[in-house]
Copies of this chain bind each other. A is one copy, B any other.
Amino acid sequence: MSFNIEDYLQRRKETVDRTLREYLPPDKPKTRLHQAIAYSLYPGGKRLRPVLCLAASELICGDYRNALPVASAIEMIHTYSIIHDDLPSMDNDDIRRGKPSNHRVFGEAVATLAGDALLTDAFYLITEKLFEEGVSPELILHVISIISEAAGSEGMVLGQMFDLEIDRHRPFCVDKISDVYLMKTAKMIIASILSGAILAGAKEKELLKLKSYSEKIGIAFQIKDDILDIAENKDEIQKSLDKTKTDTHTYVSVIGIEKSEAKVLELTNQAIDELKSFGKTPNPLIEIANWLRERKE
């Protein structure tokens, strides 16, 4: 039977959704804070980060169940980052996943608090649920360390800071953009994959390869997002390519769509190469890398 990546992603996404709903029941939230949390957490998007976490766990030990609490916590952290990034003082986005963004519905104060709560509760969830499951305390600490480092002032938050500070009216080099993408997007993708692998008992050598894979698909993912953004807003292509007028802060705006697509392909292939020595076929992480490159949304 051949491996169907769409099926695979759908099944894992459903598992993540089921676990999240168990930990944070979306029905009858107790307070307006809990309502706001549920609003952004459900129905959610692709659940890419938790699915990568599960896939990494599966690659190492053939099972992914141990990683479910961490996968859920990672989605909570991703959701917090989206709520805060959408705030008027940040990216000022009114729409997220086809519906009004959190602050448009609940107001800025509640949206800020919902993000704060999701971030904090994520650490509580990892600690409590993994301990209940009998995971070794050392491994739990390793996972908390990796995730908090990736999400904090040397990771995702710094990436959002870089993004805010970019002077959108000056030319911008590709290396600097890669740095922003690494911080803003890839660091949490790396943490998702490593934490799944660590809980499955991955060896140091395996973690190094997975780290390199994750970094490459993390940056490729963000470049692909830029390309899709352009495709979605065709009217704005010319505007985006006109460096004297507008944004110069994406890969596409600096090197154009064609070269950006070539870069995504190059990074994807390099990422896949890192995983060949694992010997497993089909390898879900290889399939996911190709799927991410080819996706249309």
- A sample of 25 inter-chain contacts (CB < 8 A) reads A31-B161, A32-B161, A33-B153, A37-B153, A84-B112, A84-B113, A84-B116, A87-B108, A87-B109, A89-B112, A90-B112, A110-B161, A113-B164, A115-B116, A116-B119, A116-B157, A117-B152, A117-B153, A118-B153, A121-B148, A123-B148, A127-B145, A127-B148, A136-B137, A141-B141
Residue contact A127 to B141, C-beta cutoff 8 Å:
yes
A131 within 8 A of B: yes
A128 within 8 A of B: yes
Known: A113-B161, A116-B116. 6 other contacts (CB 8 A): A117-B152, A118-B153, A119-B120, A123-B144, A127-B148, A144-B144
A34 within 8 A of B: yes
How many Å from the CB of A229 to the closest CB on chain B?
21
B-chain residues with CB within 8 Å of residue A131 when the two chains form the complex: 141, 145
Q: Residues of A at under 8 Å CB distance from B?
A: 31-34, 37, 80, 84, 87, 89-90, 107-110, 112-113, 115-121, 123-124, 127-128, 131, 136-138, 140-141, 144-145, 148-149, 151-153, 157-158, 160-161, 164-165
How many Å from the CB of A215 to the closest CB on chain B?
19
Residue contact A120 to B157, C-beta cutoff 8 Å:
yes
Contact of A124 among B117, B137, B152, B165 (CB under 8 A): B152
How many Å from the CB of A117 to the closest CB on chain B?
4
How many Å from the CB of A87 to the closest CB on chain B?
7
User: How many copies of the polypeptide does the oligomer hold?
Assistant: 2
Known: A33-B157, A141-B137, A144-B144. A152 touches B113 (CB 8 A): no
How many Å from the CB of A176 to the closest CB on chain B?
14
Residue contact A120 to B153, C-beta cutoff 8 Å:
yes
B-chain residues with CB within 8 Å of residue A160 when the two chains form the complex: 113
Known: A153-B117, A161-B31. A108 touches B89 (CB 8 A): yes
B-chain residues with CB within 8 Å of residue A84 when the two chains form the complex: 112-113, 116
Task: Pick the 9 closest A-B CB pairs, nearest first.
Answer: A137-B137, A89-B108, A120-B152, A117-B153, A124-B148, A33-B161, A123-B148, A117-B157, A89-B109
Contact of A112 among B32, B87, B120, B140 (CB under 8 A): B87
